Amino acid sequence: MTSQVPDLWPPSAQEVVFLLLGVVALGSALLVVTTRQLVHAALWLVVCFGALAGGYLVLTAEFVAWVQVLIYVGAIVVLLLFGIMLTRAPIGRSAGLDSGNRVTAATVAVGTAAVLVTVVVQGFATAYTPLEPGGGAAATLGASIFRSWVLPFEALSVLLLAALIGAIVLSRTDIRPANPAADAGGPAAPTTPPHPPDPAPPPADGSGATAGETGSGRVSRDGG
Amino acid sequence: MNGTIPAPTIEYALLAPMLVVFGAAIIGVLVEAFAPRYLRSAIHKPLTLLTLAGAFVITIWQARTGIPTTPSAMGAVAVDGPALFIWGTILVLAFVSVLLINDEGHFVASAAAVPGSAEEERALTEGATHTEVYPLVLFAVGGMLLFPAANDLLAMFVALEVMSLPLYLLCGLARRRRLLSQEAAVKYFLLGAFSSAFFLYGTALLYGYAGSVDLAKINTALGSVGGQDTLLYIGVAMLGVGLLFKIGAAPFQAWKPDVYQGSPTPITALMASGTLVAAFGALLRVFWVALGGLEWSWTPIMWGVAILTMVVGAILAITQTDIKRMLAYSSIAHGGFLLIGVVALGNNQQQNASALSALLFYLVAYGFTTVGAFAVVTTVRDAGGEAWHLSRWAGLGKRRPLVAVVFSLFLLAFAGIPLTSGFFGKYAVFQAAVAAGATPLVVVGVVSSAIAAFFYVRVIVLMFFSDPAADGPSVVIPGGTWAVGAVAVLATVVLGVFPQPVLDLAHTAAQSLFVR
Amino acid sequence: MNPTTGPTLVDFGHDPLWLSIIKAVFIFVVLMLGVLFGVWFERKLISRMQHRYGPNRAGKFGLLQSVADGLKMGLKEDIMPRTVDKVVYLLAPVIIAVPAFLAFSVMPFGPMVSIFGVETPLQLTDLPVAVLLVLAMASIGVYGIVLAGWGSRSPYAILGGLRSSAQVVSYEIAMGLSFVAVFLAAGTLSTSEIVAKQAGGGTWDVFGLEIPQPSWYAISLLPSFLIYAITMLGETNRVPFDLPEGEGELVGGFHTEYSSSLKFAMFMLAEYVNVFTVSGVAITLFLGGWRAPWPISIWEGANTGWWPMLWFFIKLVLVFAFFVWVRASLPRVRYDQLMAFGWKVLIPLNLAWILLYATLKALRVPESNKAFILTLGAIIVVGGLAIWFRFDTLLQRRREAKAAQIEEEFEQLREEPEAGGFPVPPLDLPHYHGVLPAGQASTAVKEVTSGSN
């Protein structure tokens, strides 16, 4: 691994590009946390991810690079923006983006960075790996995932499935009763006053919104 | 072009217990998706119980047919003696916890509804249920099985997430005291994510050091790689933080009381037993297999953590007035006692095996007792839910003597009184530690046990020698809880009076030590 | 180079710099001219479909109409709304246009040719994961739409932007999945090699019978192709999926605030280039790429030299004509239908098809355990059918229940009009029939001669 180390000076074109991408990634990452505009922070995050993807490209990890663009830039941050816009979509500076823990956070961040940089420089200052084109293509990666790492990979799919179920549990509002006739009963019965009985059972289908509207409609009908 | 990737070798028979659990979880998801709502609960309950029982039977069968000596599934999983013993323990404990989960009234009607809102009220009156709990529990149990058996750090990290993520969710599904439950879920999730990040960071640094995430290869690298000690030490520290968090060792114990209190009590029982067992299995594997050669570096720190954990757990438990929080602190203290066993790593094979077998026995004994204790907690109920405040437990011995006696038995087992399982657990661990030269630790352990005994006995005194309140809580014991209580009492007494078979079993399992 | 199959990955990366620049400039110029031609072609074709003449004033056949429009856009006043986020507002048209052009860099136009003495493939570059680059560029293009919507600070624009991002992200999943079968069939993600794989069909050995396989993936992977054809309409926000700029409801959608200036021209440009890109991908992945279709391919020289570029552009025009044809034929779908179609129809169908195809593929691996695969496949098929039947009856029951409920509510409303909680007059008030208010006349209905008074 540490054989045939070429001279560090003059730097090759790849090294220069990699360095520049690193500067871009660092700068945009700083801007993500310092900008006072929410949407701009998300956009700087895009730049940061893009620069990382560029870094992967320079290191010949093509598949990872494009997947990084596809997943992080193309899906995750878009969803983030989507969330921001669905809720508030603020233009201009938001005062709430400034935290009182600025100094602590900065200290921790600088400390972490310092430790990491020291460790990596100390450990890998002389390490050298020649880059081989095509080393990061889909074939190599696929062979690795579906051979050496097949069990963790499958376990990850299980994890995602569990997360999906969890998201459904936490967000679905149209949970219908398991058995409308039988109440929970026993000491676990609700202590809240019983709900006024509906004149008709709610429809057996449809979304929660529909059921809610019909329900409230019926209630007001009783009143009117 | 196609077919150039040789198929991986997967020992399906060896991994069967885990695969059965994951498979059943996926079937559970399909049931959720396609079975009509009124049938789901009726399908889930037997499915989950049969799965856990079946996986347990397979585990036993494997242990009898012979224990492999090499890692399986392309080196990702090591199904060795300790792993099989831990699998069996987790499966039984999960089975018992599922019996608790089966009883009505623990889980929220509609998790998406705002606490106290009209929607929640409506869901309650309509008797809606979240049957997704069962597949989630199975996912978590699958993760618990993979976690202590993972043979490389990557598989271990994935297992950690598979185990934790469903638990984060389940924590937030308590039927009563919704806000507390949601707070517990968020706290557990945030701190858990933080600790996972530490674990991952440590893994990355260790990979940088050793050039591999395989536990055995890391151990080999300890002797051959030089000049990168900073990387190694920081990596080990971060990995340790991630693992100790899951155990709830001080100073990473802060989540435990809140989460144990807010979660639905059956889930608390599952976490206090299954997760703890799994996490100790993983901790042992990492520190003994991967970092065994680094023993001189991490042992002193582990000493400190063990002492701190025991002392913090025992002393803070005294100040608690909430039964669930008290049990949580008791769990922290027990984590400390178990860490004594981790430190008791000796120089020879025999010493290690005896320390390991002591730990395994302790885990079994503690797991049963803690599930039983939480089962009792579910039975004592007020109008607003379970009666958690200790003052509500006053005089319980006069009103419901059997429940009080059973709970007292569990508390005595926690304290380590002879003729209960806790005594032999502690005795075995302390003995191993003394043999390894960790006598000061044992002294601290005994002192903490004494402090802990104080508050256990205080509860017993409260139950038997105080006058019952006029509007005292009612005691309701559904069928599943009955069974759980009976099993736990049986385990506690049998392991306390006649521990030899299980000790032998643990000894046999530990004899081969961890596969490298 | 293999003369029968065309260039592969090893042929790339040897171009001198000047050649790469020539190719890049060529692609740029072709795309710019293509947009001018495309706008004219679309207007002309759709007019003919609607029995009109279309543009016919500027130049012969109105050919210069697009040029005139472009000039007009350049000369118009550039209006900058006062409250917009200026940086984002200006950046959005650029972000949407640039990736559209970039994706064309991996599009193969033809085989190896000699340009000024250098043997080179007619393609700017190729990567082992070239198709991913196309997908990645499409996903970056979304930012242009989202940011245009947000930066304009206008409710219409932001609604358009949101719709568009949700739509494009959803349809991108189905699109990516429809590529999976192609990857499985071709065993590569490189565009030039996928084209090469479609050179000859080969035969399919089924129980000793040799069935010749069609060479185009559009035929051998028909489900994938059909799904791709739908998603490419969704991905480019074209009719019938042009919700983001549905003028009936959102004025102009995300580009409402970009009044006719060069910035608006950028959006137009991007839209057409995106259409060309997805058409190019359709041709490359499914329609044999630059290779000549069957009757022509009998002639030996059809797939050599510069000819293939002609086939490619003919195919491009035909696919583009398909876009226009769809636009002339289909009405715009409703937004919830659009999303439901993407998530509940296209993606599951696609997954099922991939499963099926992978099973077939697995059966053809020599050392595969055929009995096991077939058993597993049978279980999945039976399970799937069982679920489908169950849902079929369930949905039927739900539909009937819904209809009955609606009928019941109508019944109720007819009897007692205020029942819905709204103060509506009864449907059958007497004065509708010319009866005077109560107290003045009987309620008997009688014929009136004019109106209702």
b/e code C371-402 from CB counts within 10 Å (16+ = b): eebeeebeeeeeeeeeeeeeeeeeeeeeeeee
Inter-residue contact B38 to A178 (CB < 8 Å): yes
Stretch A119-136: mean pLDDT: 76
Which chain C positions have a beta carbon within 8 Å of A224's beta carbon?
418, 421
Cβ pair A118:B104 closer than 8 A: no
What is the least distance, in Å, from the CA of B188 to any CA of chain A? 15
The pLDDT of residue A200 is 38
**pLDDT score of B143:** 94
pLDDT at A187 over 60: no
Could you tell me the residue ranges of all domains in chain B?
Answer: 16-511
Cβ neighbours around B482 below 10 Å, total: 14
Percentage of residues of chain C with pLDDT beyond 70: 85
Most confident of B66-75, B232-241, B461-470, C289-298: B232-241
Q: What is the CATH number of domain A1-97+104-135?
A: 1.20.120.1200
A120-139 residues touching B, CB cutoff 8 A: 120, 122-124, 139
How many other C-beta atoms lie within 10 A of the C-beta of residue C97? 21
Work out the average pLDDT over B20-27: 94
d(CA B361, CA B422): 10
In chain C, residues with a C-beta closer than 8 Å to the C-beta of B2 are 187, 361, 365
Note whether C104 and C276 are within 8 A (CB): yes
pLDDT of C428 above 80 = no
Chain C contact set for A62 (CB, 8 A): 127-129
Q: What per-residue confidence (pLDDT) applies to B376?
A: 92
pTM here?
A: 0.84
pLDDT digits (tens, 9 = 90+) for C68-126: 888 888 888 877 888 778 888 888 888 888 888 888 888 888 887 777 777 778 787 78
**Nearest residue in B to A180, CA atom:** B126
Place B491 in a pLDDT band, splitting at 50, 70 and 90: very high
- A127: which chain B residues are within 8 Å (Cβ-Cβ)? none
Q: Does A13 reach chain C within 8 Å, measured CB to CB?
A: no
Assess A6–B contact: CB distance below 8 Å, yes or no: no
> What is the pLDDT, as a whole number, of residue C301?
73
Give the per-residue pLDDT at A215: 35
**Per-residue CA distances from A113 to A26, A120, A123, B130, C311 (Å):** 11, 10, 15, 44, 56
Contact A70 C421 (CB under 8 A): no
Neighbours of C105 (CB within 10 A): 19
Of B446 and C63, the one with more pLDDT: B446
pLDDT of residue C422: 66
Task: Please tell me which residue of chain B has the smallest CA distance to A118.
Answer: B230
Nearest in space to B460 (alpha carbons), one of B334, B344, B333, B323: B323
Q: Which residue of B has its CA nearest to A166?
A: B169
User: Which residue is closest to B10 within chain A, CA to CA?
Assistant: A151
Query: Are the C-beta atoms of residues B145 and A158 closer than 8 Å to each other?
Result: no
Report yes or no: A64 and C161 within 8 Å, Cβ to Cβ. Answer: no
pLDDT band of B275, cuts 50, 70, 90: very high
Provide, as residue numbers in chain A, all residues whose Cβ is less than 8 Å from the Cβ of C128: 62-63, 134, 137-139
The per-residue pLDDT for A209 is 38
Q: How far is C388 from chain B (nearest CA, A)?
A: 10
Q: Per the CB < 8 Å rule, is A178 touching B131?
A: yes
CA distance A200 to A59: 67
Tell me, what's the pLDDT at A4? 60
Longest CA pairwise span in chain B (Å): 81
Is residue B1 within 8 angstroms of chain C, CB to CB?
yes
In whole angstroms, give the CA distance from residue B126 to residue A176. 8
Average pLDDT of chain C, as a whole number: 81
Q: Please determine, for residue B260, whether its predicted confidence score (pLDDT) is greater than 90.
A: yes
Q: Which of C129, C166, C420 sits opposite A138 (nearest CB)?
A: C129
Distance (Å) from the C-alpha of residue C419 to the closest C-alpha of chain A?
A: 6
Is residue A196 very low, low, confident or very high in pLDDT (cuts 50, 70, 90)? very low
Task: Tell if the CB–CB gap between B2 and C187 is shorter than 8 Å.
Answer: yes
Which region among A126-130, A185-189, B457-461, C444-448 has the lowest average model confidence (pLDDT)? A185-189
d(CA B18, nearest CA chain C) in Å = 20
C contacts of B34 (beta carbons < 8 Å): 387, 390-391
User: Where does the pLDDT of residue C195 fall: very low under 50, low under 70, confident under 90, or very high at 90 and above?
Assistant: confident
Measure A109 CA to nearest chain C CA, in Å: 29
Q: What tokens appear for C94 in the block?
A: 């650029």
Q: How far apart are the first and last CA of chain B?
A: 36
Q: Looking at C31-77, which runs of residues are DSSP E strands? A: none
Residue B516 has pLDDT above 90, yes or no: no
As a whole number, mean pLDDT of residues B504-510 equals 87
pLDDT, greater one: A114 or A210: A114
Residue C439: pLDDT band (50, 70, 90) is low
The 3-state secondary structure of B57-83, one letter per residue? HHHHHHHHHCCCCCCECCCCECCCHHH
Q: Which of A124-138, A143-157, B115-129, C119-133 has the highest mean pLDDT?
A: A143-157
Distance from CA of B28 to the nearest CA of C (A): 15
Reply yes or no on whether the pLDDT at A39 is more than 50. yes
